[in-house]
Structure 1
């Protein structure tokens, strides 16, 4: 792994642990010589992780659609900013630039981004590791939802392993480094192999 895409809130959230985790993740990326790929904003947790990487001497690559420049203030100190026209292009570019994905706490956009890369992994578009940084139990309900979907027959049992979940950035990055994708299975229960 050389570059990690981090999805994160464009707001800081109410728990100071969220900001601290973003900074710790940025520091850990630098310590491991990993570049950051993210949404390009200076706002919220997105900005915190980027600032930690840049302050530590690492490289941070942002990807932002031109139309978002007002709401998500562009980070002007990035190693490189990739300007795109749509959100679809943004996510595709972030995926192309990255060797793995991590979600810090965030809202609808973060949920959508992480579930899209999980879906891509499920159908074989990529085999990159995907992690949730479970800060103060933030992603525990999401993991419970995934387990509920497995029990209900909507996610094959071994495909729950597409998502790594840890509360410590170093442990999560170790698991991502050692990641082996789950064996390919027939995702469609009504089809015979």
Structure 2
């Protein structure tokens, strides 16, 4: 009977692990937590988001690169641009401005890595943005913004968890950018 139970458990593990590595696209829906203010005072500002990641995928859902690629559902730069515009408008900026007063946001990295350990794996998710205040041909202010998530896990994460974790790191970085007073003052000049 013990051999039978072992066989059932082994078969269930194989079946379930196959399901765990199906393709998955993360739906990015940042939660903008920009402060309500009048720092922008109606200043016309253009928002330009560029995707400069080394690869378009986030990583794989399995350990050590084994498994299906994790991707983003939709156009990441457009999704971020909409969130950043929303945050700037909350701070009093008019976001249909000219190239001479521009917030350029470069997506530098969005990485999802699951490293194996003895009893559990370590899930590391990182999102990196660079915000640049552009005034004509000058770039008077530039800053990097990071969102990070680190957690010990014992199973491959499902779609609901991955959406939650990835959106958390994206929201962290976007909100850090929108709360950067030096950047906001530069755009308001």
TM-score (norm 1): 0.29
Of Structure 1 and Structure 2, the greater strand share is in: 2
Higher relative contact order (CA 8 A, sep 6+): 2
Of Structure 1 and Structure 2, the greater helix share is in: 1
Q: In terms of Rg, which structure is larger?
A: 2
